[in-house]
Amino acid sequence: MRRGPSLFNLASLGLGLTFLYAPIVLLVVYSFNDSRLVTVWGGFSLRWYGELMHNEQLLASVWMTVRIAALSATVATLLGTLAAVALTRGGRFPGRTIFSGAVYAPLVTPEVILGLSLLLLFVAVGAPRGFWTVSAAHTTLTLCYVTVVVQARLASFDRSLEEAAQDLGCPPWRAFLLVTLPNIAPAVAAAWMLAFTLSLDDLVIASFTSGPGATTLPMRIYSAVRLGVTPEINAISTLLIGLVATGVIAAYLIQTRGVRRASR
Amino acid sequence: MSAQHRDRSRAAAIAPFLWLGLFFLFPFLLVLRLSLSDIALAVPPYAPQLDLSAGVDGVREFLAALDFETYGRLGGDRLYLAAYLSSMRIAAISTGILLLIGYPIAYAMVRCPPAARRALVLAVILPFWTSFLIRIYAWIAILKPAGLLNAALGAVGVAPLNLLNAALGAVGLAPLNLLNTEAAVHIGLVYAYLPFMVLPLYAVLERQPAELLEAAADLGCTPVQAFWRVTFPMSLPGVAAGALLCFIPMVGEFVVPDLLGGSQTLMLGKVIWTEFFANRDWPTASAVAVALIVTLIVPLTLFQRQQQRLLEGGR
């Protein structure tokens, strides 16, 4: 039997979580600060949120960012799921090492390198930089995350269910669509969410591959941050954090329900 | 598994492979080529150009025109060497700190009851989902001279920083300021990468059968001995995975050293960014990128193996 957590364990958990959450909590709290100064509490106010609503440039970049994230997450989920199927079920095929290398490497490759190399590609083929180039770049970045998430689920999926469907006369692709896909759907949905938020967050790759007229939200936040800490950035950050946290917790609940159903 | 089945699964690799070939592998060749171009002509289109219609002669001409001038300059300039070394040093130190902080957290998570464990995993992942940029930005407000850290210290009446600053001022030194120092970079890196360290550690620790510790206890091990002789050695794959997952991207990190490190902190990611956006020197930026990739190839390969074993083990 495992012993329960000791005092030392509880202390490390407490300190660890405080370290992770304190800066975020402070940021959120100070977004409601009426004073412009970071360290002076001037009373509760929503004025910075009100000012955001009138910032047309900012709203335009939010819309641009969301569109890029939705498109790139969708393409990455399609390609990443295919890659996961090939890696879990393809056995040893020629070129497998290069393939899995290309799939996992973007996970850890520094973003400046991904950004620079993609920019050179777009310059070489003469693609006008903007919405499409950032979307393609983000698809490349997020594809590997999708593969890892889906692969973990596929590996634990009982293959015999699909084989049973085929024994009963179901063509393989239909068996995949009707039996396997519904089973891995929670993982695929979670992977899409992950890809979406990664794209939403990315500053470095977007800066390299974007052009005039396609400024994303992180690019706007970055140029504002360079000029100093302002309550407006706190407000937009709080909105983003709230949005993402809601999405992640929802995805978590969906996934745990899916796992429970699958194990029943 | 039937051979026919496997073939069909392999066919699924075609589309993602084409995508990654075009958008991931091929662009690396472009970076390599650009790093060998002439600096003077370093505006698109870059010289030399590969003229494939000229056949073998075209290739030979292209190869003859490549030069290593950019690399020569990189080797000769102290700045680049210093940036390279400090990137390695900063990433290595931060990885060490991450291990020291991450291991107790992962270990404590495993000791909790299963229901609490799931919630704790979510709690550790959640900050990773919220914007990297925003999380680093949050630290600026804490670390800056008139920031929240100093305000908090002052509020408790301790004000060690103020005392220290007064002392420093008395001997004619600049007041201590955490923002724009290497210490701030370490804080930012550890903060941003903590989930990447905790989760692989948690994954290996969670799979360890509890019976092993019982057996160790039966054989006369104290809990501390059991930890160092059983738990820790068995968790080494997780330690390796976490260390690689953090170290590799940290070497090329841009946002943290740029926002928290100020102008004195040199790191390769920042050098590439500056060469590219400020100096518009694309060949130099590419050469630095190539140097970075070459350095990271060994850890990348190790990471690769780890991933394969982790996700495809027992197949």
Residue A86, in any domain of the structure:
yes
Task: Report, as an integer, the average pLDDT of A97-113.
Answer: 84
Residue with tokens 């003077």: B40
Q: Does B47 touch chain A (CB under 8 A)?
A: no
Q: Which residue has the higher pLDDT, B69 or B110?
A: B110
Residue B234, in any domain of the structure:
yes
Torsion of CA B275, B278, B280, B283, to 10 degrees: 0
Could you give the percent of chain B with pLDDT greater than 70?
A: 75
Residues 227-256 of B with CB under 8 A from A: 244-245, 248-249, 251-255
The predicted structure's pLDDT at residue B314: 39
Q: What's the gap in Å between the CA of B89 and the closest CA on chain A? A: 16
Give B56: exposed, middle or buried? Use CB within 10 Å, 0-12, 13-18, 19+: exposed
Residue A252 token pair = 């978590």
* Ramachandran sector of residue B159 (left: φ over 0; alpha: ψ -120 to 50; beta: rest): left
Query: Do the Cβ atoms of A93 and B13 come closer than 8 Å?
Result: yes
Residue A50, in any domain of the structure:
no
Q: Which residue type does A238 have?
A: T
The predicted structure's pLDDT at residue B192: 92
Residues 208-237 of A with CB under 8 A from B: 208, 218, 221-222, 225-226, 229, 233, 237
pLDDT band at B62 (very low <50, low <70, confident <90, very high): low
Residue B2, in any domain of the structure:
no
Q: Which domain holds residue B304?
A: 32-40+61-144+179-312
Q: Does B120 touch chain A (CB under 8 A)?
A: yes
pLDDT band at B292 (very low <50, low <70, confident <90, very high): confident
The predicted structure's pLDDT at residue B146: 62
The predicted structure's pLDDT at residue A260: 59
Q: What's the gap in Å between the CA of A133 and the closest CA on chain B? A: 11
The predicted structure's pLDDT at residue A80: 94
Residue B167, in any domain of the structure:
no
Q: Which domain holds residue A99?
A: 55-263
Query: Do the Cβ atoms of A24 and B136 come closer than 8 Å?
Result: no
Residues 134-163 of A with CB under 8 A from B: 136-137, 139-140, 143, 147-148, 151-152, 155, 159
- Residue B194 sits in a domain of what CATH number? 1.10.3720.10
* pLDDT over 70 (residue B164): no
Residue A193, in any domain of the structure:
yes
Number of residues in chain B = 315
pLDDT tens digits, one per residue of A108-158: 888 899 999 999 899 888 888 899 999 999 999 999 999 988 988 888 777
pLDDT tens digits, one per residue of B25-43: 899 888 888 887 765 444 4
What CA–CA distance (Å, rounded) separates B54 from B235?
57
Query: Do the Cβ atoms of B158 and B238 come closer than 8 Å?
Result: no
The predicted structure's pLDDT at residue A83: 92
Give the sign of the dihedral formed by CA B104, CA B237, CA B95, CA A191.
Answer: negative
What CA–CA distance (Å, rounded) separates A88 from B163?
61
Could you give the percent of chain A with pLDDT greater than 90?
A: 27
Residue A197 token pair = 């938020």
pLDDT tens digits, one per residue of A207-257: 999 988 889 999 988 888 887 777 888 888 888 888 888 877 877 777 676
CB atoms within 10 A of CB B90: 23
* pLDDT over 90 (residue A197): no
Mean pLDDT of chain A: 85
- Residue A240 sits in a domain of what CATH number? 1.10.3720.10
Task: Report, as an integer, the average pLDDT of A67-95.
Answer: 89
Residue B297, in any domain of the structure:
yes
User: Of B254, B270, B19, whose CA–CA distance to A135 is shortest?
Assistant: B19
Lowest mean pLDDT of A95-104, B109-118, B255-264, name the range. A95-104
What CA–CA distance (Å, rounded) separates B83 from B62?
32
Residue A240, in any domain of the structure:
yes
**CB distance A6–B244 less than 8 Å?**
no
Which residues of chain B does A143 touch, with a Cβ-Cβ cutoff of 8 Å? 16, 19-20
Query: Do the Cβ atoms of B268 and B252 come closer than 8 Å?
Result: yes
Q: What's the gap in Å between the CA of B170 and the closest CA on chain A? A: 26
Residue A25, in any domain of the structure:
no
The predicted structure's pLDDT at residue B159: 47
The predicted structure's pLDDT at residue B40: 45
Torsion of CA B288, B289, B290, B291, to 10 degrees: 50
Residue B210, in any domain of the structure:
yes
Q: Does B308 touch chain A (CB under 8 A)?
A: yes
Q: Does B118 touch chain A (CB under 8 A)?
A: yes
Residue B245, in any domain of the structure:
yes
Residue A98 token pair = 């290069």
Residue A29, in any domain of the structure:
no
The predicted structure's pLDDT at residue B41: 47
The predicted structure's pLDDT at residue B137: 86
Number of domains in chain A: 1
Give B12: exposed, middle or buried? Use CB within 10 Å, 0-12, 13-18, 19+: buried
Lowest mean pLDDT of B157-171, B189-203, B244-258, B283-297, name the range. B157-171
The predicted structure's pLDDT at residue B153: 61
Give A157: exposed, middle or buried? Use CB within 10 Å, 0-12, 13-18, 19+: middle
Which residues of chain B does A12 touch, with a Cβ-Cβ cutoff of 8 Å? 104-105, 107-108
Residue A23, in any domain of the structure:
no
* pLDDT over 50 (residue B315): no
Task: Report, as an integer, the average pLDDT of B238-262.
Answer: 90
Nearest chain B residue to A149 by CA: give it: B311
Number of domains in chain B: 1
pLDDT tens digits, one per residue of B120-138: 988 898 887 777 888 888 8
Q: What's the gap in Å between the CA of B314 and the closest CA on chain A? A: 10
